[in-house]
Amino acid sequence: MRKGIYKAAALILAGTMCAGLTACSGKTQETKVQETAVQDTKEAQTGETGKEQASEAGKESAAPKKKVSLVLATNWGEGDSKYNYFYPKFQEFQEANSDTMDITLETYSTEDYKTKIKTQTASGDLPDVFTYWGGAMMTDMVEAGLLLDVEEYFNASDQVKRDGFEPTSFGYYTASDGKTYGIPIESTRGIFLANKQLFEENGLEIPKTWEELLKTAKAFNEKGIIPIAIGSNGGTPSEFFFSELYGQYDGAAKELEELAATRTFNTENALKVANNIKDMIDQKMFPADTVANGGWAASLQLYTDRKAAMTYTYPWMFESIPEEIQEASEIVPLPMLPDADIDPAGIMTGFTVYGFEINKASFEDAAKHDAMVKLCDFLASDELSAELTKSGMIPAKNIEIDMDSQKLIFKKMMEYAQDKKLISVHYTTMPDQDAVNMMDSSLDEFFINALTPQELIDKVQAVLDKNNK
């Protein structure tokens, strides 16, 4: 492997979880029959009559074909970190296939997109192909019989095969019936950032122990600097931070893996995490207004504006980190919690988080089938995955990443992740979307001290129990 190139699979294989544009298909059967008829006519007939028959056959063969109309939906619209890398590639694909395909690209903001797909699921009128989440997010679509078992796509494609992906990446899109209903595109990693310049300017060291973290938080608060920029608005980034801390306890990784089967959130480990976060809140480690400063963008903004010394984020936010902050940032483990069992220096959250799903009815429509395969080949292509890495995305495919073309923060993340054991998160393993929503809203309340640790845990468990009846 030459310098500057990393295999994406190397990172995924470190844990327990977690195709260029093609011109495929060629001529249709109908066109081939027409051409054969023309050739036979030319060879069998002579004189003007033969010439006229050949001419008419030739005209029929040259007649324009009816375009196949498809709808591709995504939240990779303007403002999303992937838009600037996805859209030019989509335009190339659209232009290359403009004679046979008429593709309508529908883009939405993330929350509007979730609402749109939920409405379309209820009406049974999903887009032909659409990027979307797996796990509990796709359960209603699977139960309604709206999604294609992706083995049918792999069997139909000459360009993309299942063995081109890291095997564990399909877990997020595998339903309780054992079938897989989505193609993974994006893997990701959670990272804890510290602005080493702010630490140096204030005569402080980046904390390595819990005791050091407590002293550091007090020192930064006295200087009017937020110790850790983490809020909770709609459960972000608090939900993922909760899962990151969860991995510090014995048995937690197994509890996450088995959550869909056990439907048990109310564990001793979960309560320990909640108690420790409550202590962090009491120690004023987070912004005073965790709702206003919650959400991925607002939490990160405090850090990039140098108003906070540390933060927790994911690669989909890398586009929002200025170069000077990337340079000043160091990726470090959050210090080990006082009652934890596992050193966080050896673990990090890592999992498949995004991909695309295929409308079963559209794929089985003979008039759309070939165009559907070609569009899916584009979305699952090595070329598109490689391009999207520039937004901070770690591909779920086993492709080489040209590190020389990546952002500095992406390089730091990939280097940091090399020797880490990856653990999943509640977002991808929770069996019920209602439970995910309850976890998110309850964390919002918890971060403003409106719920106790046990109340937080009980509210989520109550939804899991109710929906299991």
CB of 177 closer than 8 Å to CB of 343: no
Residues 20 and 138 in one domain: yes
DSSP 396: S
Which pLDDT score is estimated for 407?
95
Residues 442 and 307 in one domain: yes
Which pLDDT score is estimated for 97?
97
Residues 212 and 181 in one domain: no
Domain residues for 282? 191-313+432-466
Residues 71 and 176 in one domain: yes
**In a domain? residue 415:** no
Question: Of 26, 45, 424, nearest to 258 (Cα)?
Answer: 424
Which pLDDT score is estimated for 183?
98
SS3 42: helix
**In a domain? residue 213:** yes
SS3 194: strand
Mean pLDDT by 10 residues, the chain (469 residues): 47 40 33 35 41 47 74 94 96 97 96 96 97 96 97 98 95 95 96 98 97 98 98 97 98 95 97 98 97 97 98 96 98 97 96 96 98 98 95 93 93 95 94 95 98 98 91
Residues 205 and 288 in one domain: yes
Residues 142 and 249 in one domain: no
Pairing of strands 191-195, 183-189: unpaired
Residue 26: φ, ψ to 5°: 70, -145
Give the domain CATH number at 115.
3.40.190.10
- Give the up-direction half-sphere exposure of residue 141: CA atoms within 13 A in the CB hemisphere: 33
**In a domain? residue 154:** yes
User: What is the rounded CA–CA span in Å between residue 74 and residue 132?
Assistant: 7
CB of 336 closer than 8 Å to CB of 248: yes
Give the global pTM. 0.83
Question: How many domains in the chain?
Answer: 2
CB of 314 closer than 8 Å to CB of 351: no
Which pLDDT score is estimated for 256?
95
Residues 381 and 255 in one domain: no
**In a domain? residue 414:** no
Residues 176 and 202 in one domain: no
**In a domain? residue 344:** no
Could you tell me the two tokens for 230?
């983490």
Residues 299 and 440 in one domain: yes
Residues 20 and 153 in one domain: yes
**Residue 340 CB contacts under 8 Å (≥ 6 apart), including other chains:** 248, 249, 272
Residues 355 and 238 in one domain: no
**In a domain? residue 74:** yes
Q: Burial, 350: exposed, middle or buried (Cβ in 10 Å; 0-12, 13-18, 19+)?
A: buried
**In a domain? residue 345:** no
Which pLDDT score is estimated for 1?
38
Could you tell me the two tokens for 134?
């797996």
Q: Identity (one letter) of the amino acid at 302?
A: L
Residues 180 and 279 in one domain: no
**In a domain? residue 3:** no
